[in-house]
Structure 1
Amino acid sequence: MTFALPITPPSRVAGLVSGKPSLGGGVDLPVFYPATGAQISTLTEDDAAAVDAAVLAARAAFDRGPWPGLSVAKRIEVLEDCRDTILANVDELARLECAATGLVLKELKARHMLRAASNFRFFGEYISQAAGQSYTQTEGYMTYVTREPVGVAALIAPWNAPIALATMKIAAALAFGNTAVLKPSEQTPLALARLVELLQEVLPEGVLNLVNGRGTVTGAALVAHPGVDLISFTGGTETGRSIMSAAGRNLVPCTMELGGKSANIIFASADPDRALDGALQGIFSNNGQQCLAGSRILVERPIFDDFVARFRDRAAKVRVGDPLADETEVGPLASLSHMNRVLSFADTAREDGGSLLIGGTRRDDLGEGYFISPTAVLARSNADRCAQQEIFGPFATFIPFDGVDEAVAIANDTAFGLVSYVWSDHMPTVMATTPRLRSGVVWVNTPMMRELRAPFGGFKTSGVGREGGASCEAFYTEEKTTTIPLSPPPLRRFGA
């Protein structure tokens, strides 16, 4: 079976430095359409020299350009123009995103692109209300605190939701007056390359630059560059460790939004239908490829068998297929190697003494694309590798528990701590559970909901730092304290 391409992508994709194609200098990298496995474009990798040119362009725009000193009112206008640009190009951007990621097109249009546009509006609104601090408690003095942009931001975006997650970084960095160099994943460069090209029409020269390539080449050159002042990364935990190590040598601050193995805790006191819908959405949306997936489904023992049976029945009916079709619920995984890795965990579960409940196989009936059946396993215990390692696909692991104490113990028994889910209509159960969960976000009786005003990030190996309104302000700005005497103070006259 061969699925139509959502759009004819450019034959070659290159970076952009001050609005012009980058120098490249690296190898050519293929870009594939996950629904067919066919190569659809070629990416020009940027080597260290090309990265240097991009950083220098951002540096010049920060040191000598108008952007850092632009009034808040003017900066808000530009952020609104960025939002309008996205909304005017939703169809093209969504189709390019679909072509490289295999994500379902209707979801990209309805959620990802609108989230990207709202990121710019949110930070425009945020800076319009931002306030400084002043202190007059010390007699004879007034001290005030201002925030200033840090400088050149290196923004490294993941492959699972490129536009939605990259624009959070771009909008935040620019809103506070920084300039930026963006590096998308080499697997999914199409939509972000087009977006950066479109935004050149509304941004001053050099404010937003784009480099492309592998993490070991382009990414390594970017995070080690002495002209970079701060780094924001979303991706895998091991890559995050490498980036922080390189950044530490230059004392460059970082925010890291990394992996997850989130517990979705379903108590017997939950609304069974809503909890089931939430569990399915939590593991199968975005083709299962999201760090905040509820991938460990913990179900209280009295309802365990019934819940698992109902989950299995529904999972068997999940519509896997063409990402362009409106009826499709789960599209292909992002790459052949990732598909094979996800499928390997079915054998891993059996090796650890668990059992396969459903799926675990490639959908060969859908052609050469990277499709798999929605998968769930019953773990022998939370120590099983399927319960400890991030699989990052439409692959759920079920574990039974008895009572709040055991649920919390299992949920916290992981190296990760990004999000947790709690399903219960019994408020004492909710309140006994949520404060004890070691994760940066807890969602109660709801699937994924992102409140941009609130901090988002993880405990333990799920990340360092937070994204969100005040959190981004703290990261993308430097605090400056200025003290002024209200009248000339007495001075000691050394040597008089």
Structure 2
Amino acid sequence: MRFFIDGAWAEPSTGRTQNQVEAATGEIIGVAALGSEADIDAAVKAARRALDDGPWGRSTAAERAVTLRKFAEALERRAEDTSVLVSRENGMPIGLSQMLNGGAPAALLRIYADVIENLLLEEVRPSQAGSTIVRREPVGVVGAIAPWNFPQALAMFKIAPALAAGCTVVLKPSPETALDSYMFADAAREAGLPEGVLNIVLGDRDAGAALVSHPLVDKIAFTGSTEAGRIIGAECGRLIRRSTLELGGKSAAVFLEDGSIETFLSGLDNASFLNNSQTCTTQSRILIARSRYEEVVDAVANFADSYKLGNPLDPSVTMGPMATERHLDRVLGHIGIAKNSNARLVTGGSRPAELEQGWFIQPTVFADVDNNDRLAREEVFGPVMALIPFENDEDAIRIANDSNYGLGGSVWSADEDRALSVARRVRTGTIGLNYYTLDLGAPFGGFKDSGIGRELGPEGINAYLEYKSIYGSSRYLSA
């Protein structure tokens, strides 16, 4: 496989490759080239030329909006193939993949086409000496580093606002989902994106490090682990380079004593088990009012047992495998640690005997978890729930906030005003009242170790714009 650089397919600078393995079968479904520092350098230089010398750097907001909508249409024509490919790569159930890998990228492009058309990019203000022209300009060349769990959607979290703002992009996808990102390249060519505006180089950590440190890159947009985010943030700090970091989570679902079990179970899939729980907002700490504790424990265990495991391309399957064998081993390691604690294993805890191929794990529930246990402190990134009792609302808020993370969360109560009162005091970037569903029209990001900056919503474009003040005469006030 080649890379997409400067509007054309480019041969890799080395012969390094890797096999892409299907998560549900363990079988090879493709071979991908891995980029080197030289490939990243070529892509960044192409992006720089497109910004400084090409038509994109001189384009108007209206012109970019037209191109973004054409890009959306081109992606939609590939949506079904893209959805299937991602499900094969990372085990995502096909229905979810159709929404988030097939539909969401096009929706995001249209959202940011609308945003940039309606955003005031230049205004004139009176000043003591005459006037000041305040401009919003593109931040420059963006290095976008996307993860494997929602590869199409999370890449477009970065690409759409960056392109709308007038930036150019070098995308480094995750090697765990090595094949699907090139759908972007095909669609970009069809849509008529100028050469160098979007470049794609698959690579491992060395390629990512080369992108983060490249002297011609102006901003890094990263989604991934907190551990990797610390390294990237430190390098961006050293280089005085802008960065947006969307990192890990250990979010809490808070079930108050007046909560509805029926409502809770109807929302639990999105809140805690979405994408086989390979989701940064997974609410894997389930905090339960003491008076309802055993009732809710049993309900969550029964809900976990109700999942149908199997090939994610089967529409009747509700939970697919872990994305890779290495990740499966990591999840099993967390389960082993929890089994050796004082927590009580209620259901699951091992690989399903009936699925010999692929990287499957039983949905697993531990009760009586202490919030200081590793299972309650560390992100598992798999379907392993830690159930924790609390005494009252104040205790629930204390436990929810006793975490290094703050990305997602939910509060479940028959009294929505009461739930809102609790939600306002939980230190997290997003939180739902009796449901949890991400809103593409509202800012998304985390507190504490869950990251820096916000994506999505009209606010998401701000990270790709710089302010410039031009001091002029008063004649501009009447222009």
Query: Would the alpha carbon gap of residues 134 and 77 (structure 1) be closer, same or farther in structure 2, given more than 3 Å must change?
Result: closer
C-alpha RMSD of matched pairs (Å)? 1.7
Contact 1:346 / 1:377 at 8 angstroms: preserved in 2?
A: no
Q: 1:290 maps to which residue?
A: 279
- Distance in 2 between residues matched to 1:296 and 1:25, nearest whole Å: 45
User: Among residues 446, 449, 454, which one is paired with 2:435 in the alignment?
Assistant: 446
CA distance in 2 between counterparts of 1:187 and 1:380 reads 32
CA 1:30/1:138 → structure 2, altered by over 3 Å: closer, same or farther? same
The equivalent of 1:70 in structure 2 is 59
Quickly say closer, same or farther: Cα 1:26–1:324, change in 2 above 3 A.
Answer: same
Q: Is the 8 A contact 2:74 2:190 kept in 1?
A: no
Shift of 1:132: 4.4
Q: 2:63 aligned with 1:47, yes or no? A: no
1:192-207 correspondence runs (5 A):
192-202=181-191, 203-207=193-197
2:468 maps to 1:480: yes
**Aligned 1:194-273 pairs, distance under 5 A:** 194-202=183-191, 203-215=193-205, 217-273=206-262
Tell me the residue number matched to 1:7.
none
Does structure 1 retain, via aligned residues, the 8 Å contact 2:88–2:313?
Answer: no
* Counterpart AA for 1:214: D
Number of the residue aligned with 2:354: 365
SS at match of 1:324: coil
Q: What are the ranges of 5 or more consecutive residues in structure 2 without an aligned counterpart?
A: none
Distance in structure 1 (CA, Å) of the matches to 2:327 and 2:142: 29
Q: Structure 1 residue aligned with 2:425, among 429, 432, 436?
A: 436
Question: Does the 8 Å contact 2:405/2:450 carry over to 1?
Answer: yes
Distance in 2 between residues matched to 1:435 and 1:213, nearest whole Å: 40
1:355-394 matched pairs, under 5 angstroms: 355-394=344-383
Q: Does 1:105 align with 2:91?
A: no
Shift in Å, 1:279: 2.4
- How far does the alpha carbon of each residue in 1:211-262 deviate from its partner, in whole angstroms, 9 at most, with x for none? 11111x1111111110111000000000011111222232111000000000
Opposite residue 338 of structure 1, the aligned amino acid is H
Q: 260-269 or 306-315: which moved more? A: 306-315
The aligned runs of 1:112-123 (5 Å cut-off) are 112-123=101-112
Asked if structure 1 preserves the Cα contact closer than 8 Å seen for 2:253 and 2:286, the reply is: yes
CA deviations on 1:119-152 (whole Å, 9 max, x unpaired) are 0000001011102464645466222311111111
The separation in 2 between residues aligned to 1:136 and 1:103, in whole angstroms, is 51
Segment drifting more, 20-29 vs 411-420: 20-29
Q: 1:381 to 1:367 in 2, by over 3 A?
A: same
**Aligned partners of 1:34, 1:347: CA distance in 2, in Å?**
22
From the superposition, tell whether residues 135 and 176 of structure 1 become closer, same or farther in structure 2 (CA, over 3 Å): closer
- 1:458 is aligned to 446
Residue pairs, 1:12-23, within 5 angstroms: 13-18=1-6, 19-23=8-12
For 1:226 and 1:384, how far apart are their aligned partners in 2?
Answer: 43
The residue number in structure 2 matching 1:5 is: none
Counterpart CA distance in 1 for 2:318 and 2:119 is 41
Between 402-411 and 378-387, report the one with greater CA deviation: 378-387
| Alpha-carbon distance in 2 for matches of 1:22, 1:224 | 23
Q: Cα 1:284–1:418, aligned 2, differ >3 Å: closer, same or farther? A: same
**2:171 is matched with which residue?**
182
Alignment partners' CA distance in 2, 1:483 and 1:305: 67
Report the counterpart of residue 3 of structure 1 in structure 2.
Answer: none
CA positional deviation for 1:287:
1.2
Q: Is the 8 A contact 1:124 1:175 kept in 2?
A: yes
Q: Deviations over 1:85-133 (max 9, x none)?
A: 1111111111221221121122211343211110000000101110246
Deviation (angstroms), 1:425: 2.1
Gaps of 5+ in 1: 1-12, 489-496
Once the two structures are TM-superposed, the CA of residue 419 in structure 1 deviates from its matched residue by: 1.4
Identity %: 36
The answer for the alignment partner of 1:401 in structure 2 is 390
In structure 2, the residue matched to 1:9 is none
Counterpart for residue 10 of structure 1? none
Letter in 1 for 2:107: S
1:35 aligns with 2:21: no
How far off is 1:481 after superposition?
Answer: 1.1
TM-score scaled by length of structure 2:
0.95
Where does residue 491 of structure 1 map in the other structure? none
Q: Is the 8 A contact 2:79 2:101 kept in 1?
A: no
Work out whether residues 184 and 212 of structure 1, in 8 Å CA contact, stay in contact via their aligned partners in 2.
Answer: yes
Contact 1:280 1:311 in 2 (8 A): no
- Number of aligned residue pairs: give it: 474
Which of structure 1's runs of 4+ aligned residues deviate more than 3 A?
Answer: 132-140
Distance 1:42 1:60 in 2: 30
Letter in 1 for 2:404: A
* Counterpart-to-counterpart distance in 2, 1:111 and 1:247: 30
Residue 425 of structure 1 aligns to a residue whose secondary structure is coil
* 8 Å contact kept, 1:55–1:152: yes
